Structure 1
Amino acid sequence: MLISKTMRAILHALSYSNVEVEAARKLADLKKLDAMRIFLKKLDTKVYNGDYEVPVRLYFPNEEAMKTETSQGLAYPILLFFHGGGWVTDSVENYDRVCSRMAQDTGHIVISVEYRLAPEHRFPIGLEDCYAAARTLYMDLLREDQDKITIMGDSAGGNLAAAVCLLARDRGEFMPKRQILIYPALGNCYTEESPYKSVHENGTDYLLTAERMENYLLLYENSKEDRKNPYFSPLMEQNLSNMPDTLILTAEFDPLRDEGEEYGKRLKEAGNYVEVHRIPNALHGYFALGIRFFHVQESFRHMNAFLEKRED
């Protein structure tokens, strides 16, 4: 289905390119005013990256899960989640509704990580915060239940999820069994030199612009050399063998679409189990919309089918 001329005009008006960090963070803070957040089943705690306390928030699918988890050990599988926002904006707080919905609709406990943001904390600080959260789960808290953990992220969080899995494989401390990447940011170039058709076709008028993505990279990187680092841009990794079972969801009108699908193709060629599903007519960021939105419903159908199949 094609986007109507009216909707295309609206999208064009909303598709700005500059990244004003403070303005974007103030806009993200408005999401914290949602009164319904007080009814969410959640628990705040922390893990450590060295001496730094990394806040994490647990979301439970139901009251029973909350009571069981705190008194009798692990009874529900885990989704370890890294939020999007271009490594620069958003937080655990304004992903409250998204994570609560995920917990309820998947029957999993969702653990959302408040990693440090750029430009104050550039690569690889946020990534190391995410890795520390994963390491704590796999090595300290759930060593006997590692197969019950799935690593997941959307957009920049999808980048972090993929990078954490690469780091885990390379460091050899633990190995995730599954990863779910929602329209992940895996590349390192969003200029006219990009090799991906979706960057050129969807990079101006579909909310997330290619220029804004390039600006996010500039805020996240410590140096230009970072762009060659596979933990910064997972598509730079030459050896993708021995990676987790992977589900990748892309959006049809997203500049990041082709790089997510390319990553899935390369993972499969390296011998991994991979599912890639393109959500028709969807824009980047749709996953944060309400559960009644049909693109979100379709995503949960793919996620639940993948989890049911690969958790057996």
Structure 2
Amino acid sequence: MNRVIRSVLGWFAAPRLNMREDYEKVRRAQRGLAAIAVPPTRARDWETVEDGAIFPVPVRIFRPKETLRDDVVVFFHGGGWVTGDIDSYTPACTTMADRMGCVVASVDYRLAPEHPFPAGLDDCYQVAQRILNQPELVDAVHRENIILMGDSAGGNLAAVVSTLLRDRGEPVPRRQILLYPVTQWDHDPRTSPFESVRQHGEDLRLTNTEVQDYLELYVPEAAMRRDPLVSPLEQKDLSALPDTLVISAGLDLLRDEGEAYATALAAAGNDVVVHRVERALHGFITLPRFSRSLHEAYDVIGTFLDGRAEPS
């Protein structure tokens, strides 16, 4: 990336926001932008049944223009566990359904800091567990058609939900798609084991400061951030997990940790495909449909779903 483009992007970098104070403003801005960009959508809302201490979890079902696959994607949105919702992700999920040619179920899990860890994780787990046990709720033919997918913090949640399902003896999805996921707790350039944190953590779309703020809002107790339910790279047993596609962004500080998680999954005996979108920034799944990065990612996803990708 040349200096001029990097300089322009720097104006939009997160240090110009204080996420601890401005997260509500960011939420409003995201909804406003989504409302402007929202395409014609074939969506309906569905809620889980209230169960004890778990609140009803809204889920929005998106249907494609043309059905190409029997799969159903259970999608967990990004936003650092603090921002994002089914409204702000409606344009992205409409594109997702159309490009993948299948149903997408977008989960509106609870957000920090109002609802810190593990509230959002519990919501995602409940929805995934219920759909895997009752795939007919989303018109899936069989649970093997259910795919967990998430971007950024949502990729983190998808990875953790898969391990929780396995550990609790529940049905485990056959496949998962993790887009530039958060997989570990340390994003300090002085101590992080990953070079991408030092290369891309200061002046691009996502910064070290922003990730750290998100983590502290999501998990206020510092020691808990090393828990495998927060940092899946800390998980000691990564065996018997879904076939996995990890897509990283070449200009993203999370690039190396997402790819490291893919390596760890493969070392544990899972089938894993890794693809880096070289010139992409963090969060590219929400870009307009004409984005080159978006086209590349969905081409890779289609190959993975059709079983044409070779494990890495």
| Runs of at least 5 residues in structure 1 that lack an aligned partner in the other structure | 66-74
1:109 matches 2:111: no
Report the equivalent of 1:44.
Answer: 45
Q: 1:280 to 1:101 in 2, by over 3 A?
A: same
CA contact (8 A) 1:251 1:279 kept: yes
Amino acid at match of 1:59: F
Partners of 1:42 and 1:57 within 8 A in 2: yes
Q: Do 1:59 and 1:111's aligned partners in 2 also have CA atoms closer than 8 Å?
A: yes
Give the Cα separation in 2 of the matches to 1:55 and 1:187: 28
Aligned to 1:83: 77
1:195 maps to 193
Q: Which secondary structure state, in structure 2, belongs to the residue aligned with residue 283 of structure 1?
A: coil
Match of 1:123 in 2: 117
Structure-2 separation of matches of 1:4 and 1:103: 34
Tell me what 1:21 maps to. Answer: 23
3-state SS of the aligned residue for 2:11? helix
Give, in angstroms, the shift of residue 144 of structure 1. Answer: 6.5
Report the AA paired with residue 160 of structure 1: L
Unaligned runs of 5+ in 2: none
Q: Which residue of 1 is the match for residue 152 of structure 2?
A: 155
- The answer to whether the 8 Å contact 1:245/1:310 transfers is no
Q: Is 83-92 or 48-57 further displaced after alignment?
A: 48-57
Aligned to 1:69: none
Contact 1:48–1:133 (Cα < 8 Å) also in 2:
no
Offset, 1:32: 3.8
Aligned-residue offset at 1:232: 0.8
SS at match of 2:192: coil
Asked whether 1:230 is paired with 2:228, we answer: yes
**Contact 2:34/2:91 (CA < 8 Å) preserved in 1?**
no
> How far apart are 1:188 and its partner, in Å?
0.4
Supply the distance in 1 between the matched residues of 2:290 and 2:178 (Cα, whole angstroms): 21
- Residues paired across the two proteins, number: 299
- What residue in structure 2 maps to residue 291 of structure 1? 289
- C-alpha distance in 2 between matches for 1:297 and 1:270: 31
Superimposed CA distance per residue, residues 253-282 of structure 1 (whole angstroms, 9 cap, x where no aligned partner): 100000000000010011100000110111
Instruction: Report the counterpart of residue 278 of structure 2 in structure 1.
Output: 280
Q: CA deviation at 1:107?
A: 1.1
Aligned pair in 2 of structure 1 residues 137, 206: CA closer, same or farther (>3 Å)? same
SS of aligned partner of 1:299: helix
Counterpart secondary structure, 2:198: helix
Say which structure is richer in helix.
Answer: 1
CA distance in 2, matches of 1:64, 1:280: 30
Specify whether residues 223 and 310 from structure 1 end up closer, same or farther in structure 2 by C-alpha distance, changes over 3 A only: farther
Checking the alignment, whether the CA contact within 8 Å between 1:87 and 1:220 is kept in structure 2 is yes
Question: Is the 1:48–1:132 Cα contact (8 Å) retained in structure 2?
Answer: no
Superposition RMSD on alpha carbons, in Å? 1.8
TM-score, structure 2 as length reference: 0.92
Question: Cα distance, 1:228 vs. partner?
Answer: 2.1
Encode CA deviations 1:217-251: one digit per residue, 9 max, x unaligned. 00000412321211111011011111100000001
C-alpha distance in 2 between matches for 1:165 and 1:310: 23
TM (norm. structure 1) is 0.92
The runs of at least 4 aligned residues of structure 1 exceeding 6 Å deviation read none
Task: Within 5 Å, give how 1:38-77 maps onto structure 2.
Answer: 39-48=40-49, 50-51=51-52, 52-62=55-65, 76-77=70-71
The residue type equivalent to 2:207 in the other structure is T
Equivalent residues of 1:150, 1:180 under 8 A apart: yes
Q: Matches of 1:241 and 1:303 in 2, distance apart?
A: 23
1:71-116 deviations in whole A, cap 9, x for unaligned? Answer: xxxx831000000000000110011111111111111100000000
Structure-2 change in CA distance of 1:121 and 1:63 (3 Å):
same
1: CA distance between counterparts of 2:300 and 2:67?
26
